[in-house]
Amino acid sequence: MNRQQRLNLIEQQSRAYMEGNVEFINNQWVFFDQETDEASSLEEYRQQEIEVFRLKRWRKGVLSLNGQIHCGSDLLHLKDQDQIRIKKHLVFSLESLLEEVNDDAFVQFITSLNSIDFSIFDCIYCYNQLTFFGDETRKSGVNFMIFDNQEHICSVQHHFFYYEKETDRFEFTLNSGKRMVIEKISSS
């Protein structure tokens, strides 16, 4: 699996975007998140990738000053009540963890998480023990993650042992009591 395939799997995750409308209030653009009903200054997202819904499709671009969006060679100007979506950022330690695990563990973790109606973008906490090993050849420990999809909480423990063989074991526990364990063992 190459980097682009990994990015595609990440991009297909549910809740990867904050969606809502924009309004021009008191000479500034304000974003209203449709999920939380919270308002924030669109200026907070300047130089980030956003999408605006125009002509029955999403147009991707980078937000710049004064409600302008650079979409390749096109320059779009926001209009009052435009529907937009802003790409969410992953928790940094989770993003690092996903880069460090092998392809099989990566796919198994994400598809298992998705099968219980969670997205990697639901992560509210991640402790990544792998970041402390550097170039050591023998790595062993546990990573901890907490996910919240607004309906349930899921705690994930990632037990790993990397030496002559690579072992990844993910233990998922929901606040409802439901549990799931997956394990992948492979030769280095």
The pLDDT value given to residue 4: 86
pLDDT band at 187 (very low <50, low <70, confident <90, very high): low
Residues 156-170: what's their mean pLDDT?
95
Query: Which residues are within 8 A (CB) of 1 and not within 5 positions of it... i.e. 6 or more apart?
Result: 103, 106, 107
- Pairing mode, if any, of strands 57-63 and 39-41? unpaired
pLDDT band at 188 (very low <50, low <70, confident <90, very high): low
Residues 158-180: what's their mean pLDDT?
96
pLDDT tens track for 131-159: 999 889 999 999 999 999 999 999 999 99
Residues 114-118: what's their mean pLDDT?
97
- Asked whether the beta carbons of 22 and 54 are under 8 A apart, the reply is no
As a whole-number percent, the residues of the chain with pLDDT over 70 amount to: 98
Average per-residue pLDDT in the chain?
A: 93
- Alpha carbon distances (Å) from 98 to 4, 86, 126: 14, 22, 11
At residue 186, does pLDDT exceed 80?
no
C-alpha closest to that of 177 among 154, 159, 157:
154
At residue 1, does pLDDT exceed 80?
no
The pLDDT value given to residue 2: 81
The pLDDT value given to residue 135: 87
Q: Output b/e per residue, 42-53; b: 16+ Cβ within 10 A.
A: beebeeeebbbe
CA separation for the pair 124, 187 (Å, rounded): 32
pLDDT tens track for 44-80: 999 999 999 999 999 999 999 888 999 988 899 999 9
Residues 13-25: what's their mean pLDDT?
93
Written as six digits, the tokens of 14 are 């549910």
The pLDDT value given to residue 72: 86
